[in-house]
Amino acid sequence: MKILVFNGSPKKERSDTMHITRAFLGGMNEAAPQEVQSINVADMHIEFCRGCFACKYNGGRCAIDDDMREILEQMLASDLLLSFPLYCYGMPAMLKNIIERTLPLSSMAMAEMNGRYVHVGQRDYSHLRYLMICGCGFPNSRRNFEPAVRQFELMFPNNHTILTVPESPMLSAPEAAAVTVPRLERVKKAGRQFVETGEIDPTLLAEIASPMIPEDTYARIVNGNV
């Protein structure tokens, strides 16, 4: 499998969420060798979409000459893994900017799909699969991940897989290894399942999305370090 990883964290390789992503990729590689390319979004020169829609009328070529032209071609040739920390209940602005700059992939024409209208593609990306791995600094998943999850589902309605992990800053704390190492092992198991079966057992996903330590304990630890 050819995988293009977008690391949407401004902290780049120091991202708490990248611990989860590396574990998932490790599990995938245990099942079968993978071809993985990673992009730190913070290192890319990607301007904001101007909303000119020139790309909709000239065969999908964006009017802006920056790194996004090459990234679009890489996206079309790979399954996509978006790794990002939760910012204001969504993805960080730099990663959202990349998503907005995928406009050249679709035309102005619209078609009905599952009860809503979507733009018809100018390029064929029906073969792609989409993974979302998102970490959160809060101690629970409830009323935190829902906006990001729903946005991802709407952007990529087919062939998507979503992993969410609360208390993710613990993954960068060596003293928390007693609970973080078992959690990352579950993430690796999910990566193996994804390669072997094309999906992840819902029970395993729920375990990964559960708090690693009691919510009130985590909150007391965070508040004690403020």
- Measuring CA to CA, how many Å separate 60 from each of 53, 108, 157, 208? 9, 11, 21, 39
- In the chain, the largest separation of any two C-alpha atoms, in whole Å, equals 57
- Confidence (pLDDT) at 190: 98
- What b/e readout covers 158-173, taking b as 16+ CB neighbours within 10 angstroms? eebbbbbbbbbbbbee
Question: Which carries the bigger pLDDT value, residue 140 or residue 161?
Answer: 161
Q: What are the DSSP calls for 112-161, one per residue?
A: EETTEEEEEESS--TT--EEEEEE-SSS--TTTSHHHHHHHHHHS-SSEE
Query: What whole-number percentage of the chain has pLDDT above 70?
Result: 100
**Phi, psi angles (nearest 5°) of residue 3:** -120, 130
| Alpha carbon of residue 48 to chain centroid | 20
Mean of the per-residue pLDDT values of the chain: 94
Write the pLDDT tens digit of every residue in 192-224: 999 999 999 999 999 999 999 999 999 999 998
- Statement: residue 31 has pLDDT above 70: yes
Range with the poorest average pLDDT among 26-30, 95-99, 112-116: 112-116
Rounded to a whole number, what is the distance in angstroms from the first to the last CA of the chain?
43
CB 41 within 8 Å of CB 67: no
Please tell me the distance from the alpha carbon of residue 174 to that of residue 119, in angstroms, as a whole number: 46
- Statement: residue 8 has pLDDT above 70: yes
Span 48-55, mean pLDDT?
94
When pLDDT is cut at 50, 70 and 90, the band that residue 179 belongs to is very high
- Confidence (pLDDT) at 74: 95
- Confidence (pLDDT) at 123: 87
- Confidence (pLDDT) at 226: 65
When pLDDT is cut at 50, 70 and 90, the band that residue 124 belongs to is confident
- Confidence (pLDDT) at 125: 86
When pLDDT is cut at 50, 70 and 90, the band that residue 80 belongs to is very high
- Statement: residue 225 has pLDDT above 70: yes
